[in-house]
Amino acid sequence: MKPRFVLRSSTPWWRGPLLIAFAAVATFAITAALIRWAGGNPIAAYRYMFINPLQSKFGITESVLAATPLVFTGAAVALAFRSGYWNIGAEGQLLAGTIGATWFGLHAEGLPKIVAVPGVLIAGAICGAVWALVPALLRSRLGIDEVVTTLLLNPVALLVITGLLNGPWRNSETGFPDSDVVAESVMMPIVWPGSRVHFGLIAGGLLALGCWWYVARMAGGLRLRAVGLAPGAARIAGLEVERTLLATALASGAIAGVGGASEISGVAHQLTIGISSGFGYTGVIVATLAALNFIGGVVVALLLGVINVGSFSASRALSIPSTMGEVVQSVLLITVVAALVINKFRIVWKAADK
Amino acid sequence: MNNGPTSSIWLKEIRKSYGATVALDGVTLGIRPGEVHALLGENGAGKTTLMKTLFGLTQPDSGQIEIDGNAAVISTPRDARAAGIGMVTQHFSLVKTMTVAENLALANTRLVRVDLDGARETARTANDRFGIDVPADSLISELPVALQQRVEILKALAAGCRYLILDEPTAVLGPRDVDALLDVMRRLRDEESMAVVLISHKMKEIERIADRVSVLRRGSVVASTDAKGMTSQELIKLMVGTENQKETGSRDRTTGSGEAASTGARESGLAGVGSKGVVLKVNGVSTAKEVGGLNDVSFEVRAGEILGVAGVSGNGQTDLVEVLSGTLRPSAGEITVSGEVIDAPRPAALMAAGMGILGEDRHASAVHQLPVVENLVLDQLRSFTKWGQLNRKAMAARCDEAITQFEIKATPDQTLGTLSGGNMQKVLLARLFGRSPKVAVVSQPTRGLDVASTWYVRSLISSARDEGTGVVLVSEDLDEVLELADRVAVMYRGRILAVVSAREATRERIGELMAGVTQ
- Per-residue pLDDT band at B487 (split at 50, 70, 90): very high
Mark yes or no for CB contact A218/B384 under 8 Å. no
Q: How far is B102 from chain A (nearest CA, A)?
A: 25
Over the range B279-308, which residues count as b (16 or more CB within 10 Å of their CB) and which as e?
bbbbeebbbeeebbbbbebebbbbbbbbbb
Task: Tell me the DSSP string of A15-39.
Answer: HHHHHHHHHHHHHHHHHHHHHHHTT
| Closest alpha carbon within chain B to A223 | B378
**What is the average per-residue pLDDT within B69-92?**
87
As a whole number, the mean pLDDT across chain B is 83
Residues in A closer than 8 angstroms to B417, CB to CB, are: 9
Nearest to A9 among B374, B382, B418 (CB): B418
- For strands B340-342 and B495-501, give the pairing: unpaired
Nearest to B367 among A220, A234, A352 (CB): A234
**What is the average per-residue pLDDT within B311-338?**
88
The residue that leads in pLDDT, A349 or B159, is B159
Question: Does B338 contact chain A (CB < 8 Å)?
Answer: no
Mark residue B516 as left, alpha or beta (left: phi above 0; alpha: psi -120 to 50; beta: remaining). left
pLDDT at B227 over 90: no
3-state secondary structure of B162: coil
Residue B136: name the closest of B100, B94, B96 by CA: B100
What is the SS3 assignment for B234-274?
Answer: HHHHHHHCCHHHCCHHHHHHCCHHHHHHHHHHHHHHHHHCC
Q: How far is CA B390 from CA A213, A214, B351, B352, in A?
A: 11, 10, 21, 20
Say what the ipTM of the complex is: 0.81
Q: Can you give the pLDDT at residue B256? A: 37
pLDDT at B94 over 80: yes
Q: Can you give the pLDDT at residue B175? A: 72
Contact assessment for residue B63 and residue B13, using Cβ atoms and an 8 Å cutoff: yes
Q: Can you give the pLDDT at residue B260? A: 40
Q: Can you give the pLDDT at residue A86? A: 96
Strand partners, B67: B9, B70
Name the H helices within B353-420: 362-365, 372-377, 392-405
Mark yes or no for CB contact A236/B382 under 8 Å. no
Mark yes or no for CB contact A352/B75 under 8 Å. yes
**What is the average per-residue pLDDT within B113-126?**
80
- Per-residue pLDDT band at B298 (split at 50, 70, 90): very high
Q: Can you give the pLDDT at residue B242? A: 59
Strand partners, A99: none
Q: Which residues of chain A have pLDDT under 70?
A: 1-3, 7, 9-11, 349-354
Cα separation of B243 and B263, whole Å? 19
For residue B508, give the H/E element and its range.
helix B507-514
Strand partners, B15: B25, B62
Q: Can you give the pLDDT at residue A267? A: 94
Nearest to A218 among B366, B369, B390 (CB): B390
Task: Tell me the DSSP string of B70-100.
Answer: EEE---SHHHHHHTTEEEE-SS----TTSBH
Contact assessment for residue A301 and residue A71, using Cβ atoms and an 8 Å cutoff: yes
Q: Which amino acid is it at B389?
A: Q
Mark yes or no for CB contact A234/B384 under 8 Å. no
Residue A79: name the closest of A302, A282, A249, A242 by CA: A249
| B365-424 residue pLDDT tens | 889 889 999 999 998 888 899 888 999 999 999 999 999 888 888 889 888 888 877 888
Q: CA A170, A174, A180: angle at the middle one, nearest 5?
A: 50
Cα separation of B199 and B206, whole Å? 9
| Closest alpha carbon within chain A to B58 | A353
Nearest to A237 among B73, B379, B385 (CB): B379
Low-confidence winner among B218-227, B358-367, B444-453, B489-498 (lowest mean pLDDT): B444-453
Mark yes or no for CB contact B378/A237 under 8 Å. yes
Mark yes or no for CB contact B73/A354 under 8 Å. yes
Mark yes or no for CB contact A217/B374 under 8 Å. no
The residue that leads in pLDDT, A1 or B18, is B18
Residues in A closer than 8 angstroms to B388, CB to CB, are: 218-220
Which 8-state DSSP code applies to residue B215? E
Cα separation of A71 and A201, whole Å? 8
Low-confidence winner among A35-49, B2-16, B250-264 (lowest mean pLDDT): B250-264
- Per-residue pLDDT band at B20 (split at 50, 70, 90): low
